[in-house]
Chain A
Amino acid sequence: MILVEHAAILLIAFPLLGAFITPIVGRVNSLFRDTWVITVLAFTELLAVLLGYDVLQNGISVYTLGARLPALTSPSGIPVRIILEVDAMNAFISVIVSSIALVVVWYCLGFMNQSRVLDKLYTLILLLLTGMLGLTLTGDLFNLFVFLEVVSISSAALIAFYVHRGESLEAAFKYMVLSSIGALMVLFAVALIYGQYNLLSMAAVADKIQNTFLDEVAMVLLISAFLLKAGSVPAHMWKPDAYGEAPAPVAVLLLTSALVCLYVLFRIIFTVFNPATPLLGWVLAILGVSSIFLGVSMALIQNNLSRLIAYSAIAEIGFILLGTGSGLIEAPYLSMVGFNAISGGVFHILNDVLDLGLLFLAAGAVFYLTGERDLNRMGGLGHTQPLLAVFFLVGIFAVSGLPPFNGFASKMMIYESVYVFNPLLAIIGILGSILMLAVFVKVFFSIFLGVSPAKGHGKLPKSMLAGMGVLVLLIILIGLFPALVVDYLISPAVNALINSQNYIGGVL
């Protein structure tokens, strides 16, 4: 079927085409434009699901741009063309990204209804989606840099969406400076690799890599750049600003892009460099633990709702790094425990985006109703908005890892396996989770309970409720049947991640 054969490139090209058509369609009228954007996103989602199903059934799928056949990667023995390589891990991430984009834009339809510059907003969202999908699917180191910059530029413009607020401009500027420095580090590392091997394809580099000193420099540069973009601890300072000042739906997309950067980090570590030293695992695990600690303790003292959720997003990134880092300690020969640790980390990517996405969207709904960001000036919203209160509560329980919800499943996997490597790390993680519950219970009280509010009697648009409802449904379903998700999605993804020979074999 032609759609499946070309699904990998269409996933990138179609949102890009959609992005450029949106301003033209927007001239006609807003209903037509909304329909167009939703159609593009739904089609992208369909492609991602088709591609994912195909990859799970038939193994790695490779797409060579401009070749006579999509699978003709190296006609002269060297892969010279741009290659997209999709295995179970990529496909998993691309399904997450495209679904979140669909939910977010559906939510936006209600959230942004009074704004005049929606054409630009949707164009930028589609561009950001293009960048994230490109970052996910590409098999080429240089394109990694290009798509990283696409993500940076479109998200900086999205952070500055409220141009009349000085703070959002500052946040966008800070984000742009940091992420362009990060991207230049990626480019420098790519140059170092290209200078040694004359190759840019990730699979071919992984095949040839010698782990010389220069390779290690390149690896450190790449890892620090993507940790910066993901917002782990030493470079977390842009995150609360950017997430706090962007519109709520945009914050969800930024969160997704941070997780995509984490995926790229894992791909680079596991596939391209495939290091045999446990040091890297320890570094990641300790960075993860410090992210958890710092994120949670900074969240305790915040008064601004979005900034608070942003700090807990830093902590959640920490959980992913902790799980995967602990697994990496015993790479390349993983035991069951190490496999479980990495699975927990990868599973937590999915849960993180669902839980924090729900919280950000709920915070956006609170802002929509009251126009407030300051927690001290809110209260009693639960009397008028019971449904929103329930959604928020589900988000809180899921993000702090309470049993019937999805956060519990992945965090349990992480704790169990990390405890084997180092009990102290696991205990700090559990403590962080408990503190997060304390933080969010405080938040819940100050927003939804107490005396009836002066503001907030309006009705939430249906599309906002639907957007949050989908996330709640997914959270509960994954929380009830985590074993199914782990067996059918996570394990193939982790297997694809840790067996770099399969990835190399897909191209060479």
Chain B
Amino acid sequence: MNGMSKIVKVTACILIIPGIVFGLYIIMHGHLTPGGGFQGGAVIATISALFIIAYADEIRGVLDKDILSLMESMALIAFISLAFLGLSTTFFHNFLVNGGGLFGNPVSGINPGDLNTGGVIPLMNLAVGLEVYSALSLIVVVMYFGSKQEVLEDVN
């Protein structure tokens, strides 16, 4: 199967940029507004789904199962490592917050929504976003190719 018409393919390519930018926006504002890692990651993963619809089998080299699952593991390790870094006080302790520097601006009550607050939460959101993006894309890719092959090696 060669996918859909040229118009759809080109439109899908154009939509990469707004899709990723919007997803990243949701991820990076996770500590300020509704949204965060899961939602942003899911938005970016829709781009993968769009590409599979548009390009069908030609996607095989672009969205690679092994790379996606490696990315998933890496993102999860990053998330847990951030939690482990707080271990000098307690697990999941927000060691960056209110300390100045990266994401360390103190904030309280009603605020104008500065991005550099929230301590480790934005970093964790990034890790979760990457994880959700790769996991959802992996599911879509595996389901797409799995529905065509006769024998599927493994679901997860």
Contact = CB atoms under 8 A, between A and B. Distances in A.
Contacts of A466: none
A21 B93 contact: no
B90 A67 contact: yes
Interface string B120-156: 0000000000000000000000000000000111111
A41 B156 CA distance: 22
A70 B156 CA distance: 36
Nearest to B78: A20
Interface string B83-125: 1101101111110000000000000000000000000000000
B76 interface: yes
Interface residues of B, number: 24
Nearest to A84: B91
Contacts of A13: 80, 83-84, 91
A187 interface: no
A13 B153 CA distance: 29
A120 B156 contact: yes
Contacts of A116: 153
A23 interface: yes
Contacts of A63: 90-91
Given A13-B84, A120-B156, A6 B91 contact: yes
B13 interface: no
B128 to A, nearest CB: 13
Contacts, number: 63
B154 A163 contact: yes
Question: For the side of the interface on A, what is the size category?
Answer: 20 to 34
Interface in A43-71: 63-70
A363 interface: no
A117 B80 CA distance: 25
Interface of B: 69-70, 73-74, 76-77, 80-81, 83-84, 86-87, 89-94, 151-156
28 contacts: A6-B91, A9-B91, A10-B91, A13-B84, A13-B91, A17-B80, A17-B81, A21-B77, A23-B70, A24-B70, A63-B90, A64-B90, A65-B90, A65-B92, A66-B86, A66-B92, A67-B89, A67-B90, A68-B90, A69-B90, A116-B153, A124-B156, A157-B156, A160-B155, A163-B152, A163-B153, A163-B154, A164-B151
Given A20-B76, A65-B91, A157-B155, 17 more contacts: A6-B90, A6-B91, A13-B83, A13-B91, A17-B80, A17-B84, A23-B70, A23-B73, A24-B70, A24-B73, A63-B91, A65-B90, A66-B91, A66-B92, A69-B89, A116-B153, A163-B153
